[in-house]
Amino acid sequence: MSDLPEVLVFGSPLRPRQSVPRAPRTLLALLLAALLPLGALAAPAHAAEPGGGSWTVRQPGAARDGVSAEVRVDAVDGTVTLAARRGGVTVLEPAPVGIVTDTADLTSNLRLGSRASRQVSERYTMTTGKQLRRTVRMTETRFSFSGTDGARLDLLVRVADDGIAYRYVLPGGGSDKSGDVTVEREASAFQLPASARAWLAPYTPNYERVYAPATAAGAADGTYGYPSLFRVGDTYALLTEADVDGRYAAGRLVHEQGGGRYAVELADDTVTSAGPLATPWRTAVIGSLAGVTESTLVDDLAPASRIADTSWIRPGPVAWSWLDGFAAAQRSLAAQQRYVDYSAAHGWPYTLVDDGWKTTDWMPELIDYARKRGVRVLLWAHYTDLDTAAERAEFLPRVKKWGAAGLKIDFMDSDSQERFRWYDDVLRDTARHELLVNFHGATLPKGIQRTWPHVMTLEAVYGAEQGNVPAAGITTLPFTRNVVGSMDYTPMAFQFGTRTVSDAAELALSVVYESGFQNYAGSVRAYRDRPELERFLEQVPTVWDETRLLSGQPGQGAAFARRQGDRWFLGSVSSGAAGTQGVPLDFLGGGRWLVEVVRDGDDGLVRERRTVTARDTLSVPTAEHGGFAGIVCRAAPGRDGCDRPVSRLPLTSLTVEPARTDVDAGTSVDVVGRFAVEEFGPAEDVSLTVRAPEGWAVTGDDPHAGRLPAGRDLKGDWTVSVPQDAEYGGRDLVVTAKYRSPEGKGARKLQVERTVRVFVSPPGVDHVSDLPFAAESNGWGPVERDRSNGERDAADGGTLNIRGTGYDKGLGVHAASEVVVELDGSYRRFTAEVGVDDEVGGKGGVAFEVLADGRVLATTGVLTGTDPARRIDVDVTGAERLTLRVTDGGDGVDSDHADWAGARLLT
């Protein structure tokens, strides 16, 4: 919440002011300028008014369909209500306002002491959003009330062209006389006409629920999240809140079926803050559907930026690999380098590495690799990594020293005052280290991106990572969740989940949805299969100078035009049958314009060009649940497209075979390396080499190419001999490709490496991971050989790691698990190092059991993710069958990823 720039008026009524001369710099003018923000002068205050009454707050010179608020005091019981109108239509019927503290009930028996009005006028610039430069004009009236025993309450009501908002201001001095204020509840509510159409999402603290249509009265009993959208005639009202920080808790709406009242309920039973306390703004964005959708009211109500120099804050598209391999992809340096290479090839400035990277040791290497290619790396973090000052003091400087650009912080999952205090702390500290922020598992934007402009986006949405967002849900979000701030929906996940809209409609989400970071969730293969999509995503920005809603209805469709500089970008998505969509172009200026449309064709996405004027309507054939994307630029002689040049590097790949192998001392390994230029060649001065451990011999030529065009590759073949006296264990053979790009930013020599992991086995030892299983069962996905359990798919785990120690051989399992191998009496001992794998981040709890022919030979008791590895060494002489079992540690099976590290049988 703001730092209360407004003048706080308590106590006795104010006398009406005498008229002030317009002569410059009178003493009174200087005093007023010091007291009132942005030079806004208060209108004359009105003295106490006995009994009941009603007062209207509106903008000066408001249009006939302008927005107004009416405050009414009941003459009998002293209750206060607030209503809102747009022109002659009552949008919000009278609903109670008031608040209860631990010392006073300020919901009734209220007497108006004074009221004063002023104009609020501001200009500010955003780093993200639907409109970068903003102008604020509001009328604010302060109603100063006294209650029983002289308790004081100020009600501030603001009216703008696009809605109304109100908040309470309370003086300090609670029951403990400390100056603190303890709020027990608000009486605040919004009263909609019973028949009003509604689009509502059930409340959860991460706001990850689908919006569904209803009526204001017909919606089921329950709690609903902000923002909630209602339609009254031709007018829409979007209910939400603004300016929430650690001095308060966030709220939600509680509804009882049969009526149109939506009452405000706080996330905490009580809220305590230092006085004077200004609560969040209870906000209703009101207007036509276009007016509501284009509104910036939530940001307009928020405090000004707390970052003076924002030059380091740069929004942009992000390559996000999570939905192309989940945690396994995050633990793979090669996979993350692949996404860096893709970003560098298409001019994207960022790559995001999600949950899983913290079990690796290569992050500084990846960040350096990306930096040399003009790409910056964003890192995922669990909020508990940063929930204390000591943790932030260690973590933030460390990742900043590596060169990370910012953080995706996840799993806050709370709207409590305590969590908002954490938001205050982490935003202050990340800003100090110039780290950009993306919040997932987070609260809703409530003006946070104005106050903290390094917040690029927030999730707070049932997004693409759910894998099954219905088309009706997709087409409701532009009019609900995305109105109030950047929304990290993570579009373009073609390789994941159930497709509910067409390819062109999915592409259109890059325009329809606003997000400072657009975390594109596709796989490299999915992008390359759609070249017109790749081309469009190279051009589309993530921040906008101007936004226009062209057409649409919640749940049915949405078509937007958004401008950056002198180009407009079009995006349309629909829910329904195939047809032809007409989009008016009257937002364009005079003259002729070139439009390039990307739409669904019979064999994939197609691009079409046409020349238009502002008088035309653009007609585009659309598929079922389809849409289109487009770019509009000024037509000019010789211009055949709207694309701008893209700074890019060649998209390359380096593969090696085998990726890993087991050998005996005194034998050899054949290694093949292949460097390919996939797109945007050529690569120049290309070479391939292999590096082996000291004492290992390498034979074969190191190939070189002076120029390697797109579609060509360079191959190297080597034989690596393992010495007779080689130490047992894992070793790396490193294949290195070096090359240059003709493009300016890649003029330096670039390098990429891939490893062949070679495990030298000792004689007389068989590793369990190399033997056939007589039987197996696993609690999550398959049993993994020489990998951690990972996720549900085979071979999606990482290196076996227990408390920072890696193991080349072993089994990765998940409780409850059982692996059976036949011994046939051939072995004498079984040994292993067992524990919970580091990939679960210190969570989990399991117990290990070793059985031979049904007889228990060893048990570990419960081991957790914080315990070191436990060694098992048992005699299996004469045993026919070995059973390795992992059971739940008694706290459920969540995160029970268990490792039989180095599990082996000795003859």
Res 446 pLDDT > 90: yes
Is residue 797, in this structure, part of any structural domain at all? yes
Please state the φ and ψ torsions of residue 146, each to the nearest 5 degrees: -120, 145
User: CA–CA separation, 255 vs 409, rounded Å?
Assistant: 32
* Residue 486 counted as domain residue: no
Q: How confident is the model at residue 359 (pLDDT cuts 50, 70, 90)?
A: confident
Backbone angles phi and psi of 218, in degrees to 5: -80, -15
The CA distances from residue 144 to 152, 565, 678, 716, in Å, are 7, 46, 70, 82
Question: Does 544 map to a domain?
Answer: no
Inter-residue contact 358 to 384 (CB < 8 Å): no
pLDDT tens string 821-842: 999 999 999 999 999 999 998 8
Q: Which of 516, 126, 508, 570 is nearest to 349 (CA)?
A: 516
In a shared domain, residues 742 and 807: no
CATH at 813: 2.60.120.1060
Q: Which domain holds residue 835?
A: 765-906
Sort strands 406-410 and 376-382 into parallel, antiparallel or unpaired: parallel
Phi and psi (nearest 5°) for 52?
A: -85, -175
Least confident of 36-40, 132-136, 882-886, 887-891: 36-40
Same domain assignment for residues 737 and 774: no
For the residues 672-700, what does the mean pLDDT come to? 97
Residue 64 or 869, more confident: 869
707 in the same domain as 850 = no
Higher pLDDT, 62 or 671: 671
**Residues 274-286: b if buried by 16+ CB within 10 A, e if exposed:** ebbbbbbbbbbbb
Q: Is 465 a catalytic residue?
A: yes
Cβ-based neighbour number of residue 794 at 10 Å: 13
**What is the reported pTM?**
0.92
> What is the reported pLDDT for 745?
52
**Residue 286 · residue 235 · CB < 8 Å:** yes
Choosing from 410, 514, 662, 796, which is the catalytic residue? 410
Phi, psi torsion values for 477, nearest 5 degrees: -60, -35
Summarize the confidence of residues 509-520 as an average pLDDT.
Answer: 98
Helix axis angle for 531-539 and 333-346, nearest 10°, is: 70
The helix (H) or strand (E) run that includes residue 335 is helix 333-346
Nearest to 832 by CA among 763, 882, 759, 768: 768
Place of tokens 């209108």: 43
- For the segment 433-459, the average pLDDT, to the nearest whole number, is 98
What does each C-alpha distance from 889 to 370, 819, 847 come to in angstroms? 41, 18, 6
**Number of domains comprising the chain:** 3
Helix (H), strand (E) counts: the chain: 13, 59
Q: Does residue 898 have a pLDDT over 60?
A: yes
Q: 559, 556, 584, 576: which is closest to 508 by C-alpha?
A: 559
User: Are 192 and 77 within one domain?
Assistant: yes
- Which of 262, 295, 328 is the last residue in one of the domains? 295
Mean pLDDT of the residues in the chain: 93
Given 295, 317, 350, the domain boundary residue is 295
Q: Could you read off the pLDDT of 189-236 as tens digits, one per residue?
A: 999 999 999 999 999 999 999 999 999 999 999 999 999 999 999 999
Which residue has tokens 């740069």? 314
Would you state the pLDDT for residue 39?
Answer: 34
Question: 754 and 780 share a domain?
Answer: no
**812 in a domain, yes or no?**
yes
Q: How far apart are CA 264 and CA 281, in angstroms?
A: 12
Same domain? For 668 and 703 the reply is yes
In a domain? residue 552 = no
Q: Dump pLDDT digits (tens) for 142-191.
A: 999 999 999 999 999 999 999 999 999 999 865 556 789 999 999 999 99
Q: What is the pLDDT of residue 461?
A: 98
Interval 288-293 mean pLDDT? 98
- Final residue of a structural domain among 241, 269, 295: 295
Question: What band does 743 get if pLDDT is binned at 50, 70 and 90?
Answer: confident
Would you say residue 119 has pLDDT above 50? yes
Determine the average pLDDT of the residues in 746-774.
93
CATH number at residue 279: 2.70.98.10
Choosing from 140, 294, 465, 534, the catalytic residue is 465
Name the band, by pLDDT with cuts 50, 70 and 90, for residue 128. very high
CATH of the domain at 689: 2.60.40.10
Residues 887 and 773 in one domain: yes
Reply yes or no on whether 678 is catalytic: no
pLDDT score, position 811: 98
Over residues 865-885, the mean pLDDT reads: 98
Distances (CA, A) of 67 to 293, 308, 888: 16, 34, 60
Same domain as 178, residue 72: yes
Find the mean pLDDT for residues 770-780.
97
Residue 747 has pLDDT above 90, yes or no: no
Residue 829 falls inside a structural domain: yes
Residue 708 domain-assigned (yes or no) = yes
Convert 350-409 into a string of H (helix), E (strand) and C (coil).
Answer: EEEECCCHHHCCCHHHHHHHHHCCCCEEEEEEEHHHCCCHHHHHHHHHHHHHHCCCEEEE
Rounded distance between C-alpha atoms, residue 295 and residue 304, angstroms: 18
